[in-house]
Amino acid sequence: MKETFPVRRLTPGLALGAALVTMVGGVSAATAAGSPTTAASAASSPGSDHAALGLDAAEKLVTRSVVTDPDGTTHVRYDRTWRGLRVVGGDLIVEKSSKGKVREARFNSEHAAVGARTTTPKVARSTALAKGAARSKAAGKTSDAELVVWAGEGTPTLAYDVVTTGVKADQTPSRLHTIVDAERGEVITSWDEIVNGTGHSMYSGTVTLNTIQSGSNWLLKDSVGNYTTDLNGGTSGAGTQFTDADNVWGTGAPSNRQTAGVDAQYGAEKTYAYYNGVLGRAGIWNNGTGARSRVHYGNAYVNAFWDGTQMTYGDGAGNNKPLTSLDVAAHEMSHGVTENTAGLIYSGESGGLNEATSDIFGAAVEFYASNSSDVGDYLIGEKIDINGNGTPLRYMDKPSKDGKSQDCWTSGTKNLDPHYSSGPLNHWFYLASEGSGAKTINGVSYNSPTCNGSTVTGAGRAAMEKIWYRTLATKLTSSSTYAAARNGAIASAKELYGTGSAQCTAVAAAFSAISVAAGSETCGGTPPPPTGGNLLGNPGFESGATVWTGTAGPITNNTGRPARTGSWKMWLGGNGSTSTETEQQTVTIPSTATSAVLSFWVRIDSSETTSSSAYDTMKPQIVVGGVTTTLATYSNLDKNSTYVQKSFDLTAHKGKTVTVKFLMNEDVTLQTSFVVDDTALTVS
């Protein structure tokens, strides 16, 4: 298990998926971060994946996006329908080998199935519309309601998704979703589709813009389609494309209408370049096209927002402080990236993760741009003085300094506004990047505490940016929590930098430091030996994929093969394709031992029909002083229907550090499953 919500290693018939690839060395940063491809149809096959997942016939999978790793492993993100109804919160991620075999699935909800009790509502549509309208604080409201299945949390149920549109008192447009139970009439949850930013109005000095020419004029537009328009105080429409005769834009003063456009365009171009060059993502939609930025929205509008298609910026207090700075552009564009990857709903813990993601990449782009007028920092809105006392809006090193955000995760985090429930993840990013304690970076002083009293050593901002993006693109779903974020980030760190890496250690330590407890995903490494006669830790695998290190996936509680005792075991092979899997752990045999015996139970089944050729093998091995010794070789020729115990005398290695290793190799076709349970290295 790899998340708070169900993660399955799957068994279509006897052809089992293998493990996650661990990517270290030789992979470009942009590619390794896991960038979604545009050829979703080439990697996704809803029909076959539906069968592999064992989903109900009434369910349909709808491909949303695909992420492809350098080795061909794909992460296919699906939405679902049930009996023709759209399922809200039914999204899932399927990981597949380069040959298209399903390895595991990450479901958004604790319920993998999304079928509701009925398709016939007891609550009238008019009642649901009224409840949605009552939730909205917008003026000029109009509402529509769609019958859906709500599967975001709890037992899936028939519901109405009521969308109420209008304009709030502060001039921000609103598209509020209200989920109303269609059987009981209760409001289940609500969130606004228009994601607000917070004010960041600071200019970036003289900058270079990649404008294009049209006739005798220049357009505030680049070659990939990032362009900026003037709303001229309006609150709707596309606005007027900025043009200029000499390609010299603005004056640096808000009184010149082009100035706000310059900052917005510069921010959009730098953000696109960051995602494309650093993370390997070709813009918000990953299709190589830019986005529109609208400036001069409304009258003295002190905000900026992403509305699902474009970025929009107000002119700030007195129409003299346009909210068009570099980090605001990156923040708002990153809301678009989140919408088109994990789709984190803007409420509860997922809302905090959504907002923090925009802060994280806002800071990342600021560092990336390396602009002397706006140096990279971990402060949000540090130059606009919205508070009137020279303080920033938010502090990533210690979020509680703003008076509202949390430093540490609590059970009440989900009840906060996303701008404040984002605090713990912002804190995590700083700690994992820079570490705890006092330090000065780019002339800014920080002093980051930890919630558990620990000392955290950071592993570098560049690594954390890639790890968090991979988590967003391949691990998180619409209702993901902080617990899911921890598991996903650790898994991503191992995939990018390896088991036991400094980067993974920093990720895990920083999550512990913000009070997010350890979950099923660990960085691996060598633990202290257990007490008692058995030196092996987690010998029966009942603690999940912990202590043992190697290939991700074999240690499982999947019911496709029985455990000897309990419900967990080490299931090697079963792929039906060319693959190699390993699991190992290292212990020290005491020099005072009079005997040391390695033992384990193994069950072998195979689709191979030969009686003479060992096509698929599993070897128990030991590594001592860098020398590997194979203790035995089992193959498809040794298949048996029950568990059999194997034992090996290791007394000769007392006083030495010994790595116990299981190595499995499978050939191109026909699966063989080697299922190991109840291991022991017993000393006396």
Q: 540 near 62, Cβ under 8 Å?
A: no
Arithmetic mean of pLDDT, 467-471: 98
Q: Is 407 helix (H, G, I), strand (E, B) or coil?
A: coil
Q: For residue 552, what is the DSSP state? A: B
114 touches 149 (CB < 8 A): yes
Phi-psi region of 348 (alpha: psi -120 to 50; beta: other; left: phi over 0): left
pLDDT digits (tens, 9 = 90+) for 218-233: 899 998 999 999 999 9
d(CA 328, CA 319): 17
Q: What is the pLDDT of residue 99?
A: 85
Share of the chain above pLDDT 90, in %: 63
Question: Residue 590's pLDDT band (boundaries 50, 70, 90)?
Answer: confident
- For residues 512 and 506, give the distance between their C-alpha atoms in angstroms, rounded to a whole number: 10
Q: What is the 3-state secondary structure (H, E, C) of 592-637?
A: CCCCEEEEEEEEEEECCCCCCCCCCEEEEEEEECCEEEECCCEEHH
Whether 264 contacts 220, CB under 8 Å: no
Question: What's the whole-number mean pLDDT along residues 202-210?
Answer: 76
Strand 292-297 and strand 310-314: pairing? parallel
Q: pLDDT averaged over the chain?
A: 87
**pLDDT reported for residue 103:** 83
547: left (phi over 0), alpha (psi -120 to 50) or beta: left
What string of DSSP letters covers 424-443?
Answer: HHHHHHHHHHH-SEEEEETT
| pLDDT(6) > 60 | no
The pTM of the full predicted model, rounded to 2 decimals, is 0.70
pLDDT reported for residue 35: 46
Q: What angle do CA 510, 511, 513 make, to 5 degrees?
A: 60
When mean pLDDT is compared across 73-87, 123-137, 372-386, 640-654, the lowest value belongs to: 372-386
- The neighbouring-strand residues paired with 683 are 596
The 8-class DSSP code of residue 526 comes to: P
CA 222 to chain centre: 30
With a cut of 70, say whether residue 527 has pLDDT above it.
no
Identify the pLDDT of residue 684: 84
Long-range contacts of 134-137 (CB under 8 A, 24+ apart): 135/164, 135/176, 135/178, 135/187, 135/190, 136/164, 136/166, 136/174, 136/176, 136/178, 137/168, 137/169, 137/174
**pLDDT for residue 23 is more than 60:** no
Q: Residue 433: pLDDT band by 50, 70, 90 thresholds?
A: very high
- Report the distance separating Cα 339 and Cα 308, nearest Å: 8
What are the CA-CA distances from residue 485 to residues 6, 361, 490 (Å)?
14, 16, 8
Tokens 């706000």 sit on residue: 260
pLDDT in tens, 28-47: 334 445 544 434 444 668 88
Residue partners of 627: CB distance under 8 A and separation at least 6: none
Q: What pLDDT, on the 0 to 100 scale, is given for residue 198?
A: 35
Question: Which range has the worst mean pLDDT, 135-139, 510-514, 516-520?
Answer: 516-520
For residue range 594-628, list pLDDT tens digits in order.
889 999 999 999 999 998 999 999 999 999 888 88
The residue-averaged pLDDT of 1-21 equals 31
Query: What is 144-212 written as a DSSP string?
Result: EEEEEEE-SSSS-EEEEEEEEEEE-TTS-EEEEEEEEETTT--EEEEEESSEE---------S-----E
The question of whether 419 is a catalytic residue gets the answer yes
Question: Exposure of 100 by Cβ count < 10 A (0-12 exposed, 13-18 middle, 19+ buried)?
Answer: middle
Average pLDDT for residues 152-159, to the nearest whole number? 92
Residue 592: pLDDT band by 50, 70, 90 thresholds?
A: confident
410: helix, strand or coil: coil
Q: What is the pLDDT of residue 526?
A: 62
Contacts for 411 with CB less than 8 Å, ≥ 6 apart: none
pLDDT at 12: 32
Phi-psi region of 72 (alpha: psi -120 to 50; beta: other; left: phi over 0): left
Distance CA 494, CA 521 (A): 10
Token readout for 78 is 């699906």
Residue (of 141, 121, 139) closest to 130 by Cα position: 141
596-606 vs 644-649, strand pairing mode: antiparallel
What is the distance between the alpha carbons of residues 486 and 2, in angstroms, rounded to a whole number?
10
Crossing angle, helix 348-369 and helix 326-339, to 10 degrees? 130
Q: Long-range pairs for 240-246 at CB < 8 Å and ≥24 separation?
A: 243/214, 243/217, 243/218, 243/219, 244/217, 244/218, 244/220, 245/216, 245/217, 245/218, 246/218
Rounded Cα–Cα distance for residues 394 and 75 (Å): 34
β-partners of residue 94 are 76, 105
Among residues 102, 210, 161, 136, the alpha carbon closest in space to that of 560 is found at 102
Instruction: Indicate if 653 belongs to the active site.
Output: no
Specify the pLDDT at position 29.
Answer: 34
Identify which has the larger pLDDT, 378 or 373.
378
Q: pLDDT band at 385, cuts 50/70/90?
A: low
The pair of structure tokens assigned to 508 is: 């895990």
pLDDT, tens digit, 9 for 90 and up, residues 186-200 = 999 999 988 754 332
**Distance between CA atoms of residues 483 and 471, nearest Å:** 13
* Structure-token pair, residue 373: 């007028």
Residue 44: the pLDDT is 66
Rounded (10°) angle between helices 348-369 and 423-434 = 40
Query: Which stretches of 245-340 are DSSP H helices?
Result: 257-278, 326-339
How, if at all, do strands 195-196 and 304-306 pair? antiparallel
> Range with the lowest mean pLDDT among 47-56, 84-93, 387-396, 492-501?
387-396
Catalytic residue among 332, 339, 495, 583: 332
Q: Are 59 and 81 in contact (CB under 8 A)?
A: yes
SS3 89: strand
CB–CB of 359/422 below 8 Å?
yes
Label residue 265 by pLDDT band (50, 70, 90).
Answer: very high
The answer to whether the beta carbons of residues 683 and 532 sit under 8 Å apart is no
Please report which confidence band the pLDDT of residue 97 belongs to, taking 50, 70 and 90 as the band edges: confident
Which residue among the candidates 419, 495, 521, 581 is catalytic per the annotation? 419
